[in-house]
Structure 1
Amino acid sequence: MPDEYQSEAELEKQFMRKLNALGYKSVHIRDEQGILNHFRDLLNTRNKENLKDNDLSDTEFERVLNALVGSKTLYEIAQQLRGSDVQPYGKIVINRDDNSELYLDFFDGKDFENNIYEVTHQVTVNAAYTNRYDVTVLVNGLPIVQVELKRRDVDFTQAFNQVIRYRDESFRQLYRFVQLFVISNGSDTRYFANGDGKLNSNFIFYWTDVNNHWLNDIDAFSASFFDVKRLHSLIAKYTIFDGDHQRMMIMRPYQVYATEAIVKQAKEHPDENGYVWHTTGSGKTITSFKASRILAQETDAKKVIFLIDRSDLDIQTSKNFNSYLPKTVSNEPALDQTTNTRKLVEQLRSSDTSLIITTIQKMNNAIANDRYKDILTPLQDQRIIFIEDEAHRSQFGEMRKNVNRWFHNSQHFGFTGTPIFAENVGPDGRTTETLYNKELHKYLIKDAIRDHNVLGFSIQYINTINRKEELLDGNDEVSAIDTKEVLESDDRLRKIVKHIINNHNSVTHKKHYNAILTVQSTELALKYYRLFKELDPINAVKVTTIFTWAANEDTNEENQGKEDLTSRHGLDSVIKDYNQQYNTSFSTDNFKDYFSDVSKRMKEHSDATPNDNIDILIVVNMFLTGFDSPRLSTLYVDKKLQWHGLIQAFSRTNRVEGHAKPFGNIVAYRDIKRNTDDAVQLFSAGSSEAFFVPSYAELLNDYKEAVSNLHEVVQKPEDVDKLFDLGDDALKEFVIAFRSILQIHNKIRVYDDFTWKDLAGEFTDGELQSLRGKYSTVYHSLYDNNDHPEKASVLDDIDFELDLLAVDKIDVRYIVNLVKSINVENEDNMNADRQKIKRLLDNADSPELRTKAELLSKFLDEVVPTLKANDNVSKALSGYLEDQRNGSIKQFSEDTKVPASVINEQVGTYEFYGKPDDRVLNEVFNEAGYGFKEKLTLKKRVVSFIEDTVKKYNIFS
């Protein structure tokens, strides 16, 4: 075993030797210019035939750099590296000095052997600050993976913070090609994708073997992850591009292994089905999409059909599907959202469409309709592969049987987070295994919680009646008791509503997060809604409800004269309130639009626009499956849940978001403990330890210990001021000690048991608040100081976890993401979205945002109202910004007589190098015959314009 105190230099040498053994050649490169020269040499060699032995000139190589990097975002660079359906892998075209076109190949994404793999270390880059990078993995001379190391006795997360600093300070030119980061202290190793915007420490991943065992040690990690064929597959194949959010995502190991298992089954056993058991929240949709794409590309299947249930196809899900899949040449959306079955039939008939995404309902309609029989009959004996998302919901009925009867030569792959076993089998007696035969890969909830891919759960059972509640949940021996009357009594419901109102702030981090209340029936949902309106007249907690209504429901007779408790009348009354609250115009006649708006508000819950939020959504069954939102943290339960329904409902709350969300919070007003324990045992394969977070008693002990550690550093808040005189090491001790307090307090605050009396004599609420201020002062004194020393402070390597103190920073990226998510499919919703964003722009306090506010407002007023339902808002914004920039440059060119082509070129140069090219500007001014003073004045004006243009129009950077 390596020495526990192995130095960083020794670890680096060990790692380099490992990469050499795996086939990476060491190259000696010391600085940024060396990286450029080396890439140029390899590019010339790689394209020798096209170059006709006439290597790239300096100006041609400059054009290459501009084509590769230029003013592109990291997202655009990543796409260019991999290519797409309409763009070849790793190729660019430039004009040679003689104006002839030259095609250059810089990466082969299909054949890993047709690339050169190298490694270098300690490359120095002199930018705003001088930084020296530990280890850089090169592919064809391009820096593709950046590895940052720390010695074994140092927390590896320090390397994460170092990556952030390096990236912000000096990642430029070819270093913008870095696709992946690896961080390690030798014992703990993680990887994550590069991208535009902020990196989130919650999304750094473990690498594992196929059985989900961690490969943490740097040698074990490298042997698998840095195997040349594996690294190539991660770069070229196992990435996902999210077009709506303009980000590249790297797949996690279990997603990769599941995809490979499906492809292997399809190629080697085309007559056998299979299923993947990946727990809810682990990213099954991404895995199934990737598997669908590869099956369409690499198998002899006539069609690959991604089959989903219509009930899962809310507006956000549809956007995700379209954003993950590349657009066709005509830029048509990959997913047909219409109810028109003919569109599906056309895709089935077309020889140009190998991958189809549709619903099982539409597929069933197509094969059942005689008018399509002649078209679809030729497909009956063709090889068809079906990928079925959330297999347990849509694949056990008659529609699945109909599909099987029609397609005689079909193969089915199912994805489920909660399989059907003998214990939770439905009336038809079929389990997931009987339907799909073979389990191809498994990733359980205990694995996902262990890997921090989803959160564990805090479950509180609140007693609301005097009797033992299990006797009121349907046991035979007490069937005479009117359980409905007891459980749905006004007195009990009032107690629950009061409890929720009184505690909602603490369980949702002062409404930074939102919640779902699930109840037994639509009638009960409406009762709860009315009680919230009655007991919270000032609307401090914004509540609404949604459910599918029935025209002739069972309770209509008993509720005659009380129309607000019949489902449709009651829901219309709720929607009327909703329209007043959110300035919308829905009704049950356009229920789909109401559903979409509710879904969007639940997902876009924001501290910046609290009046646009839904704090608590009351549901019966809707939103308990398939709804993913990191901002949902709490589930209030007043209904009987069991087996897969229980796990699915709980799992709405456990999406990873930030440090302020330590777990999914379940508050149960019925005694479902036995059902919870049984479900957890079943879906954790008998091991449930990871599912539950520590008890209140355990957290209280941790809190007291953390307070004791803090008092060893400072006895009282004012003592923090003295630490500034003692230097960075003293401040670092305080940051770590108080950060621990914040982490524990964030967990314990949601417990009903929590009271400051339990810490009496040790710590108080007042001390906590005062120390929050001191903690914030320490942070801002370091990072708001313009005279930040070139030599990094030791505090640079500490994660302050500021989201435990504050939330939602309203900056350019925040606003742009809101713009890109505008719902252009409904005019009322679109106008509401526009007004919300304009309010934020009017109150912008970020200097960077203020420079772009007018531009964005004009886009909202002039362009957004003209967009059609299938238009891509992000693409429209990019086009608008380009037109506005070009118009501004044209006007400036006319005013100054400086050619627009020169200004355009210098804007690109400024974006790439951080300054315009003086040599080019001087040549232009000299040719125009300007005198010295005129030249000086004009140059200052041109440079100022270029700087302002970059600041104003570079919204996506």
Structure 2
Amino acid sequence: MGNEHESEAQLENHLIRRLSAIGYQTITIKDENSLVTHFRDILNQRNANNLNGVPLTDAEFERVENELIGSRSIYEIAQLLRGSDIQPYGKIEIQRDDNTQLFLNFFDGRNWENNIFEVTHQITIPSKYQNRYDVTILINGMPIVQIELKRRGVDYTEAFHQIIRYRNESFRNLFRLVQLFVVSNGEETRYFANGDGNLNANFMFYWTDSENHWLNDIDAFAASFFDRQRLHSLIADYTIFDRSNERMLIMRPYQIYATEAILKQATEHPDRNGYIWHTTGSGKTITSFKASQLLSRLKTTDQIIFLIDRADLDLQTAKNFNSYLPTTVSNEPALDRTDNTASLVKQLQSSDNPLIITTIQKLNNAVKEDSRYKNILEPFHDKHVIFIEDEAHRTQFGDMRKNINKWFKNAEHFGFTGTPIFAENVGIDGRTTETLYDEELHHYLIKDAIRDHNVLGFSIQYIGTIKGKNITDDEQVPGIDTKEAFENDERLKMIVQHIMLNHNQLTANRQYNAIFTVSSTEMALKYYHMFKQLDINHQLNVTTIFTWKANEDDAEEKQDRNEKSARHGLDDVISDYNQKFDTDFDTEHFADYFADVSKRMKEHNAKTPENNIDVLIVVNMFLTGFDSPRLSTLYIDKKLKYQNLIQAFSRTNRIEKKTKPFGNIVSYRNLKKATDDAVKLFSAGSQEDFFVPSYDELAGQFADAISALKKTVPTPAAVDGLFNAGTDQLTKFVLDFREIMRVFSKIRVYDEFEFNKFPGLPEKEMEAYRSKYFDAYREIKKPARTSPDVSILDDIDFEIELLETDRIDVQYIVNLIKTINLDSSRNRKADSNKIRRLLQNADSEELKSKADLLEAFLDEVVPHLDKQSDVGDELNQYLDRRRREEVYQFSEENKVPVSVLNDQLSNYMFYGHTNSEDLTKALNEAGYSFKQKISLKKKLKTFVLSTINRFTISQ
């Protein structure tokens, strides 16, 4: 029997044999009780010395379960499993029955051989349905990796949706220890991290070899990914904890290989530098963080310094840096945004910080010729210091790098860049990235990232703006003043009108936003005022941001022409901004304005258009280092080439939802040759996948999809008959219309697209089909099902995102609360009022249940926080206090001990139900009658459910 006919069961057995061959012990575990017993046995074995020959009693093991899992979130469990750099293993402490303290080790994060690797399959967990998990990998008896399989030929994403269903129905108790999921149909295999809240299919990753070749086949995947040492490294070393969002991130293979290349270079060739060429948007920051962290563990160097450019340090970026790294010994953030060089020098003097994060500007201030810190830092002349340098294509080619090199004479440099400097794009100093960093250690190019769906491809439209003149760019053309032609008011007016007419279409009805890059500050202001003049109905929120100091040389000339300087012009813009958004900024506090603009660009939401920036006009700012999935479109009216072009384009291609299929580039200059040259240079000669399908290709796909749909259901009304005809026909409709929506999400952005070009599917009829598709989705997702079997539709990838605009849910509101601007009372109040408006208009039942709590937090706590407060931590503390208060109030009103209520809450979160036996015992002791006990049990269960729903942020 060939592989193409391999059933799911055969594939399952085949994988288990492969895992057995590479060192996994195959065991049989039938159900949840067997799993718990097995874990308990191994825990006793691993800790035999600490137990002094006395295995854990039932009561002691219950304490273990509560300490290890209890009411912890998946994020907290994952942190506990890994320990810390100081204690690199999972460890808990419980009290024995004899009141002695006992430490139990359940995972060794430093030495993979000190762990037990096993594999089992078909563990059955009863729930709404009988859930049978395909293949489970255990480490020390704990289910760490869950693998779900589909037979060959079936879409592997069905396995993803099966995992979602399992998580909702039966992932409890020890299964909350699962760290990774793997899905496969034998030919296509992906992995992704577990976490609290919803899992996103966009973050299922390919596994590759070190040369970025896919290892998709289950055999090739298993041999590499499930090698026991590799799997251990994924769990112990290559996980990132995002403290701000309380989520666990698993690194992609190219990030891991790059990190390992740096570690190898640092240990084997400490006299040589190296650079990592990973394309923009591929997660260089996480890679560089992890390399820094693992280097600091090696203790083979005197100091590790992570260097970034201050220009990249907006407020959100600083928070991201600090969220990935632990706080310093003094409990201060790992990175601050101040220009205080003294604090950096103090860090360098201390031995408490093996890893220091700072800006290249601040370090340059500390070591330059006239620095007052030279004597203090003299010992660093000869120390072996490793520098990790972010955005090496920009920050490392100037005098600051030279000053640092002169001071740190025994330093090793590792640079990260998405766009290296080659001979073709070299600057005036003639230095390339290779001459600065010796050698490339690993590369992951833009073609690789687009192929892997880690970033989006680009749809590029070149719009001619000067008719009758052969002007392709800013170069001088005989007989015409090109500057005058490009800056003509009529041309600017035409471009602004084009943006206003097409912006909704390009941004899925303003679900996303855009950057408009222009050639100068003067042009930025001209465009801004042109938008104000033409957009009389305030269709779009437009603003501009730029620095002015470098542009003030001609201020006197401008005054002679009665024109305002760039700074004065920006002050007028900010005044409009303050009026529109109820803020209080000016150019004296430019950093605060910058931070707020950045925040609004990142938090863009279609349901709150009054808070959004739709179009941000820039000269150079925000074209590098600014990452936002909410940005989908770049309008261009300036020359761009090589790294500047790729960097600017790449602002638009961050993965988000299905409603953002690619980054939109609309160029009002002819940049075709410049684009081709840049793509060729930074994709190592290949342009494959950089450009998305052309309009003509998509038009053909759309016509084919319409034809397929019409064969299944000729009219929207015909869909109604499918609901009682079994799942096969309804499945066919779902798949056919899903394809319509997928193609439509891509083709709709083109200027050429009009519904009347596709007479087989008028716009109104598509909306009718869309409604029927939503009906199908709701029918499948109904909580009550009459059939004991699970419909195949449960595991189909519904493109439901394409039916909805942005959802304002609990997580969205909590993220807004976490990013409240505390810098001034006015900004604090404006952010709080915006959140209140959203809460008052909540259409989510889950959000409504928490709205009063969140509003109370805004009223009672936020006004009294200092500027350095972590709003997220304060919110967690507030919710915990309010929860305790409500438990105490219920206890007083119903004469039930607080300890009993807390035990019932913990039991429900752990097992999915209250402990009826313990509750009956407690009520008996309280002297309640039989009828009272029945009534109180119902009341208490309702209280437990409502309390958990009300106070749990991540669902």
Q: TM-score range by the shorter chain?
A: over 0.9
Partner amino acid for 1:278? H
Deviation at 1:950, TM superposition (A): 1.6
Name which of 776, 779, 783 aligns with 2:777.
779
1:351 lines up with 2:335 in the alignment = no
Deviation at 1:790, TM superposition (A): 3.7
Alignment match, 1:82: 82
Once residues 451 and 664 of structure 2 are traced to their aligned partners in structure 1, the CA distance between those partners, rounded to angstroms, is: 17
**Secondary structure at 1:926 match in 2:** helix
Partner amino acid for 2:640? L
1:374 lines up with 2:375 in the alignment = yes
CA contact (8 A) 1:563 1:570 kept: no
Partner amino acid for 1:758? K
Alignment match, 1:262: 262
Once residues 370 and 639 of structure 1 are traced to their aligned partners in structure 2, the CA distance between those partners, rounded to angstroms, is: 40
Once residues 565 and 490 of structure 1 are traced to their aligned partners in structure 2, the CA distance between those partners, rounded to angstroms, is: 18
Alignment match, 2:669: 670
CA contact (8 A) 2:329 2:353 kept: no
Return 5+ residue gaps in structure 1 as ranges.
none
Of residues 79-88 and 799-808 in structure 1, the stretch that sits farther from structure 2 once superposed is: 79-88
Q: Sort the Cα spacing of 1:292 and 1:826 in 2 relative to 1 into closer, same or farther, 3 A.
A: farther
Alignment match, 2:803: 805
CA contact (8 A) 2:365 2:371 kept: no
TM-score of the two chains, using structure 2 as the length reference = 0.98
Partner amino acid for 2:465? T
Q: Sort the Cα spacing of 1:270 and 1:859 in 2 relative to 1 into closer, same or farther, 3 A.
A: same
- Matches for 1:140-155 after TM superposition, within 5 Å: 140-155=140-155
Of residues 827-836 and 681-690 in structure 1, the stretch that sits farther from structure 2 once superposed is: 827-836
Alignment match, 2:20: 20
Partner amino acid for 1:220? A
Return 5+ residue gaps in structure 2 as ranges.
none
**Secondary structure at 1:581 match in 2:** helix
Once residues 609 and 36 of structure 2 are traced to their aligned partners in structure 1, the CA distance between those partners, rounded to angstroms, is: 49
1:455 lines up with 2:456 in the alignment = yes
Deviation at 1:374, TM superposition (A): 2.4
Deviation at 1:812, TM superposition (A): 1.7
Of residues 366-375 and 289-298 in structure 1, the stretch that sits farther from structure 2 once superposed is: 366-375
Of residues 726-735 and 560-569 in structure 1, the stretch that sits farther from structure 2 once superposed is: 560-569
Alignment match, 1:388: 389
- Matches for 1:122-141 after TM superposition, within 5 Å: 122-141=122-141
Partner amino acid for 2:304? V
Alignment match, 2:175: 175
CA contact (8 A) 1:135 1:148 kept: yes
Deviations 1:326-370 (A, max 9, x none): 234553211132211110001100011100000001001111254
Deviations 1:501-555 (A, max 9, x none): 0011001000011001100011111111111111111111111100001386244
CA contact (8 A) 1:597 1:829 kept: no
TM-score of the two chains, using structure 1 as the length reference = 0.98
Alignment match, 1:239: 239
CA contact (8 A) 1:308 1:358 kept: yes
Once residues 495 and 472 of structure 2 are traced to their aligned partners in structure 1, the CA distance between those partners, rounded to angstroms, is: 20
Alignment match, 2:532: 533
Name which of 907, 910, 923 aligns with 1:909.
907
Of residues 320-329 and 483-492 in structure 1, the stretch that sits farther from structure 2 once superposed is: 320-329
Once residues 941 and 720 of structure 2 are traced to their aligned partners in structure 1, the CA distance between those partners, rounded to angstroms, is: 44
> Which consecutive segments of 4 or more residues in structure 1 shift more than 4 A?
85-88, 467-472, 561-565
Deviation at 1:399, TM superposition (A): 0.6
CA contact (8 A) 2:304 2:388 kept: yes
**Secondary structure at 2:517 match in 1:** strand
Deviation at 1:85, TM superposition (A): 4.4
CA contact (8 A) 1:526 1:564 kept: no
**Secondary structure at 2:89 match in 1:** coil
Deviation at 1:889, TM superposition (A): 2.0
Alignment match, 1:550: 549
Alignment match, 1:118: 118
Q: Sort the Cα spacing of 1:370 and 1:297 in 2 relative to 1 into closer, same or farther, 3 A.
A: same
Deviation at 1:97, TM superposition (A): 1.4
1:632 lines up with 2:631 in the alignment = yes
Partner amino acid for 1:811? D
CA contact (8 A) 1:605 1:613 kept: yes
CA contact (8 A) 2:88 2:109 kept: no
Once residues 855 and 444 of structure 1 are traced to their aligned partners in structure 2, the CA distance between those partners, rounded to angstroms, is: 47
Once residues 253 and 508 of structure 2 are traced to their aligned partners in structure 1, the CA distance between those partners, rounded to angstroms, is: 32
Deviation at 1:470, TM superposition (A): 4.3
Once residues 792 and 564 of structure 1 are traced to their aligned partners in structure 2, the CA distance between those partners, rounded to angstroms, is: 71
Alignment match, 2:655: 656
Q: Sort the Cα spacing of 1:788 and 1:174 in 2 relative to 1 into closer, same or farther, 3 A.
A: farther
Q: Sort the Cα spacing of 1:555 and 1:227 in 2 relative to 1 into closer, same or farther, 3 A.
A: same
CA contact (8 A) 2:146 2:182 kept: yes
Deviation at 1:88, TM superposition (A): 5.3
1:620 lines up with 2:619 in the alignment = yes
Once residues 757 and 942 of structure 1 are traced to their aligned partners in structure 2, the CA distance between those partners, rounded to angstroms, is: 60
Deviation at 1:930, TM superposition (A): 2.9
Once residues 472 and 945 of structure 2 are traced to their aligned partners in structure 1, the CA distance between those partners, rounded to angstroms, is: 73
Deviation at 1:467, TM superposition (A): 4.3
Alignment match, 1:273: 273
**Secondary structure at 1:219 match in 2:** helix
Partner amino acid for 1:380? H
Of residues 803-812 and 65-74 in structure 1, the stretch that sits farther from structure 2 once superposed is: 803-812
Partner amino acid for 2:71? S
Deviation at 1:286, TM superposition (A): 0.4
**Secondary structure at 1:107 match in 2:** strand
Q: Sort the Cα spacing of 1:664 and 1:74 in 2 relative to 1 into closer, same or farther, 3 A.
A: same
- Matches for 1:669-818 after TM superposition, within 5 Å: 669-760=668-759, 762-787=760-785, 789-818=787-816
CA contact (8 A) 1:117 1:140 kept: yes
Alignment match, 1:66: 66
Once residues 656 and 563 of structure 1 are traced to their aligned partners in structure 2, the CA distance between those partners, rounded to angstroms, is: 46
* Cα RMSD for the two superposed structures: 1.6
Q: Sort the Cα spacing of 1:110 and 1:87 in 2 relative to 1 into closer, same or farther, 3 A.
A: closer
Once residues 467 and 515 of structure 2 are traced to their aligned partners in structure 1, the CA distance between those partners, rounded to angstroms, is: 26
Deviations 1:356-415 (A, max 9, x none): 000001001111254322221111101100000000111000010000000111000000
Once residues 88 and 917 of structure 1 are traced to their aligned partners in structure 2, the CA distance between those partners, rounded to angstroms, is: 35
CA contact (8 A) 1:556 1:566 kept: yes
Deviation at 1:565, TM superposition (A): 4.9
Once residues 738 and 562 of structure 2 are traced to their aligned partners in structure 1, the CA distance between those partners, rounded to angstroms, is: 53
Partner amino acid for 1:229? Q
Partner amino acid for 1:463? G
Once residues 525 and 923 of structure 2 are traced to their aligned partners in structure 1, the CA distance between those partners, rounded to angstroms, is: 74
Partner amino acid for 2:889? Q
Alignment match, 1:466: 467
Deviations 1:663-699 (A, max 9, x none): 1000000011110010010001000021101111111
Deviation at 1:822, TM superposition (A): 2.0
Q: Sort the Cα spacing of 1:941 and 1:755 in 2 relative to 1 into closer, same or farther, 3 A.
A: closer
Once residues 177 and 551 of structure 2 are traced to their aligned partners in structure 1, the CA distance between those partners, rounded to angstroms, is: 61
Deviation at 1:801, TM superposition (A): 1.3
CA contact (8 A) 2:811 2:954 kept: yes
Deviation at 1:932, TM superposition (A): 2.4
Partner amino acid for 1:946? V
CA contact (8 A) 2:473 2:670 kept: no
Once residues 825 and 179 of structure 1 are traced to their aligned partners in structure 2, the CA distance between those partners, rounded to angstroms, is: 38
Alignment match, 1:206: 206
Once residues 733 and 469 of structure 2 are traced to their aligned partners in structure 1, the CA distance between those partners, rounded to angstroms, is: 48
Once residues 169 and 469 of structure 1 are traced to their aligned partners in structure 2, the CA distance between those partners, rounded to angstroms, is: 65
Once residues 372 and 782 of structure 1 are traced to their aligned partners in structure 2, the CA distance between those partners, rounded to angstroms, is: 68
Deviation at 1:938, TM superposition (A): 3.4
Partner amino acid for 2:390? D
Once residues 776 and 371 of structure 1 are traced to their aligned partners in structure 2, the CA distance between those partners, rounded to angstroms, is: 68
The alignment-based identity, stated in percent, is 62
Of residues 7-16 and 853-862 in structure 1, the stretch that sits farther from structure 2 once superposed is: 853-862
Deviation at 1:825, TM superposition (A): 3.4
Once residues 144 and 844 of structure 1 are traced to their aligned partners in structure 2, the CA distance between those partners, rounded to angstroms, is: 37
Deviation at 1:785, TM superposition (A): 4.8
Deviation at 1:826, TM superposition (A): 3.8
1:439 lines up with 2:437 in the alignment = no
Alignment match, 1:921: 919
Deviations 1:197-232 (A, max 9, x none): 111111110000000000000000000000000000
CA contact (8 A) 1:42 1:141 kept: yes
CA contact (8 A) 1:70 1:908 kept: yes
Once residues 601 and 235 of structure 2 are traced to their aligned partners in structure 1, the CA distance between those partners, rounded to angstroms, is: 34
Alignment match, 2:832: 834
Alignment match, 1:406: 407
Of residues 882-891 and 613-622 in structure 1, the stretch that sits farther from structure 2 once superposed is: 882-891
